[in-house]
Amino acid sequence: ALVYLNGEFLPLAQAKVSVLDRGFLFGDGVYEVIPVYGGHFFRLSLHLQRLEHSLQAIHLENPLSPSQWREVLQRLVARNEGLDQAVYLQVTRGPAARDHAFPQPVEPTVFAMSNPLKPLPTEWRLKGVAAVTREDIRWKYCHIKSVALLANILLRQEAIEAGAQEALLLRDEQLTEGAASNVFIVRGGVLATPPKGPFLLSGITRDLILELAGEGGIPCRERVITAWDLTQADELWLTSSTREIVPVTRLDGIEVGSGKPGPLWGQMDILYQEYKARVRAG
Ligand code: PLP
């Protein structure tokens, strides 16, 4: 499979970056992950918009225009076989002598690759997954899709070692998101998710679910969700580009609602799969 690096398409093994790259030394960079269904990008312009926001937040000029990004990503997807793919792209502040201060001038490193998008385990859809709650130990700029993911990695690993799939993060007893997902809660037939802000990533899937809920007449709120609210949930869902909507049926070892994927999850999953089918059809 070919990858894109700084203007070239080349085999993965030949794609080399300097050890002085600030992405490597400092985690000084941002990224996106975009699903591709049947050769068609899922909400590409929203992903490119979020990339622009992440770059602005770290004061790094976007090295490519939206149309240049589209061309690079299209070529990457076209050159790689297989129908469903996940495109990963990353921009770092590039190689420079190691110094915290921004280099002058900046030569950003631009990298993109496409990998097969693995279907979700059937078990997750049939039975749901387990999650654990953890303190949100991350910094206060979680709206930036930063490649510096050490806290997220440690939190996800803690979840896995506790026999769960995801850590739900609490900042001052309020839910922010998962280690690599946004979170929705259902209580009394009403769907809710925490409001956007610097403590969570504005998920493309999250926003789509709000849209689909609006169109489908499912009552939905963006509101503060507390640790206590989580214990009262009828349903809990995780959302992300690569995992879609995953029902959480155990939280901290206790059943969520009926302990099975809930009816509203079923309803939303149908709307989501219909949306995906429209993307796939172009
Ligand atoms: N929150 C975090 C911390 C993430 O890493 C992700 C995606 O991996 C999400 C939320 C979900 O975002 P999206 O729906 O755009 O994939």
- pLDDT band of residue 197 (cuts 50, 70, 90) is very high
Mean per-residue pLDDT for 84-112?
98
pLDDT digits (tens, 9 = 90+) for 109-150: 999 999 999 889 999 999 999 999 999 999 999 999 999 999
Same domain, 273 and 217: yes
Same domain, 264 and 130: yes
Q: Report the CATH number that the domain containing residue 39 is assigned in CATH.
A: 3.30.470.10
pLDDT digits (tens, 9 = 90+) for 238-271: 999 999 999 999 999 999 999 999 999 999 999 9
Residues with CB under 6 A from ligand 1: 152, 177, 180-182, 201, 203-206, 239-241
- Confidence at residue 79, expressed as pLDDT on a 0 to 100 scale: 73
- pLDDT band of residue 1 (cuts 50, 70, 90) is confident
pLDDT digits (tens, 9 = 90+) for 43-88: 999 999 999 999 999 999 999 999 999 999 999 998 766 689 999 9
* 48, two tokens: 């490119």
Domain that holds residue 237: 122-280
Q: How far is the CA of 171 from the centre of ligand 1 (A)?
A: 17
Same domain, 168 and 276: yes
Percent of the chain past pLDDT 70, that is, above it, reads 99
Q: How far is the CA of 97 from the centre of ligand 1 (A)?
A: 32
Same domain, 224 and 97: no
Q: Please compute, for residue 174, the number of CA atoms within 13 A of its CA located in the half-sphere on the CB side.
A: 11
User: Which of 116, 151, 180 finishes a domain?
Assistant: 116
pLDDT of 195 over the 90 cut: yes
What is the rounded CA–CA span in Å between residue 220 and residue 254?
25
Nearest CA to ligand 1 atom 4: 180
Same domain, 225 and 189: yes
Q: Choose, from 16, 118, 140, 145, the residue flagged as catalytic.
A: 145
Element (H, E) at 191: strand 190-193
What is the total count of domains within the chain? 2
Same domain, 9 and 56: yes
Same domain, 78 and 166: no
What are the φ and ψ backbone dihedral angles of 134, each rounded to 5 degrees? -145, 155
Same domain, 98 and 140: no
Q: How far is the CA of 221 from the centre of ligand 1 (A)?
A: 19
Is 145 a known active-site residue? yes
* Closest-lying ligand 1 atom to the alpha carbon of residue 145: 5
pLDDT of 19 over the 70 cut: yes
Same domain, 104 and 31: yes
Q: How far is the CA of 44 from the centre of ligand 1 (A)?
A: 15
Same domain, 93 and 144: no
- Confidence at residue 82, expressed as pLDDT on a 0 to 100 scale: 64
- Confidence at residue 83, expressed as pLDDT on a 0 to 100 scale: 81
Tokens 């979020």 correspond to: 50
pLDDT of 193 over the 70 cut: yes
